[in-house]
Amino acid sequence: MNLKQFYLDKTEVTNRQYHDFLRSLNKADALLHSPQGWEKSAKEGYAIYPTGMDNYPVTGVSYEDAAAFAGWVKKRLPTEDEWEAAARGQRGFRYPWGNDYEAKRANDANADPGDVVAVGSFPGDVSPFGALDMAGNVMEWVGTLEGGSPRRRSSRRTRGS
């Protein structure tokens, strides 16, 4: 695979970062892009995340929500190939840390933390490029399908995660 140089954020997008995005929008757009599960706040005019969850990754967002956030920060969603390259490194590891699975190294079913945790809580889940949580915690949106085909925008009738 031959990729052009690209940048990827070190961590997943946090609730705090996504909240700042919502605050920059008009009320109607903020409500449209509000994550599933966030409480609607009459005082704020948009949805807010639970107290104490600032550094947790945002969840309950659709592809359109993720793409809108990326555009707001003047970035874009990585392609599937870019995400894979960032996760596996130049040597193409099976896991970010190497080819052998190591239980409890990432926030996955074997780590048993109970749920999503704050970004970077599993420092062993780091790619050769320094990206955290590439094997665990939450799934990330990418801008293309596997193989590079463009992702089709989905309907706004339902909220994805």
Angle between helices 63-72 and 15-24 (to 10 degrees): 80
95 with 158: CB under 8 angstroms? Answer: no
pLDDT per position as a tens digit, 108-153: 888 776 689 999 999 999 999 999 999 999 999 999 876 666 666 5
pLDDT per position as a tens digit, 47-67: 899 999 999 999 999 999 999
